[in-house]
Amino acid sequence: MVDVAQQRRIGDPDPGAARLKRRRLLITAVIVLALAVPGAFYFTGAYDSWQDNQSLADTCKGSVDASEVKELLGVDRVRGHGIEADHGSSPRAGRLRKCSVGDPDGNAWVSVSLDWGGDAAGPLHDLGGFTPYGDVGMPTPLGHGWEGVLDEVPGTGNLVATVNMPCENRRSDPQHSSLIATVQGMGTRSMAGGVQRARFARTTVKTAQHAAEAWGCSARSGGAIERVPGSTAHTEVPQGEARGSCAGIKTAVRESATDPGAPIENCYVLAGRNASQYRISAFYGPFAQALPAQQGYSGEVDPESPAGSKGRLLWGSAKCPSGSRALYISTRLPGGDDRFGSDGDLQKSTLKTFAASSSKRHGCEDLKLP
């Protein structure tokens, strides 16, 4: 029998040394693997993807559809950021939530604001402020069963859209009876054109759907959006040819397409060389409730009176299927010489024509006019 000493002399390995060598190799492999895996996780982009997904899950409770935003902005990655904290369920405390989603470099993004219906002043501001005596754009309906409109931000070419989601389970709570989602966008890809407008509309309605689910608002959704009406903000319709929101008005106008679900409608009555002499607007649902308190309207429009006039402003109202009253407002605007028109008969007659057509389209009745 060969003893251990003889084994070593004839070149047989030491069993203890072999075990030690294997242990060292195993420890080395573990260390290399521990260093390599995080590096691979980082350098292959997996870490960035994880960060993106985590930020989107935390942003506005995951309301924003990342795939829609990527397609809209023409980017490969998007990351979410909270802009304002959740102020709880009270709309009086501020916006329910505000966030942004865009490419990590900040070159293209959309911002999202969520409000309860009782705080519709925020969405009205985002849509141009609706100051009484100015051009506030031309919101066009999203259609397809959605209570929403889309507009271009003046002077930027960027888009803004808002969707009202009536909550079937919150009808008894006027302040929280609907959830409003408003989306504004700025992108490296042009927002102009029908394809982009439809993408923007889809991004907005999907955000509204997800937000309603996240905040416990049982709301009916509209249909799929393949296209939306084009912008007609600066398109003059010749005298007697109005077929949209100004239908029936005999003067030259600027108008938008119409839809029974549009919560806001505008019609501009022109007075030569594209100068607006009157702006007539319709507001439905929470927007009708919010407008009288806006700057320029407060103290002018009496929310307790179904119709009236004060100075250059006329208003009327109608009772709608939701139980609330719609609001129709006409204001005189500066003409080409910056003076206000004074044809009160024309202002009254165009308001009557506009309100009668709009209220009928929305299924409202009991129209009251000054």
Determine which helix (DSSP H) or strand (DSSP E) holds 106, and give its type and residue range: none
- Using DSSP bridges, classify how beta strands 178-186 and 365-368 pair: parallel, antiparallel or unpaired: unpaired
Which band of pLDDT confidence, cut at 50, 70 and 90, is reported for residue 41? very low
Which residue type does 64 have?
A: V
Number of helical (H) and strand (E) elements in the chain, helices listed first: 8, 14
Contact 262, 271 (CB under 8 A): no
pLDDT in tens, 172-185: 888 999 999 999 98
Which band of pLDDT confidence, cut at 50, 70 and 90, is reported for residue 90? very low
Q: Which residues pair with 180 in a beta bridge?
A: 115, 164
285 or 5: which leads in pLDDT: 285
- The beta-carbon contacts of 44-48 under 8 Å, at least 24 apart in sequence, are 48/77, 48/104
Confidence at residue 94, expressed as pLDDT on a 0 to 100 scale:
61
Alpha-carbon distance of 211 to 30, in angstroms, equals 45
Per-chain mean pLDDT for the chain: 83
Query: What is the arithmetic mean of pLDDT over 187-206?
Result: 86
Which residue type does 201 have?
A: A
Global pTM value:
0.82
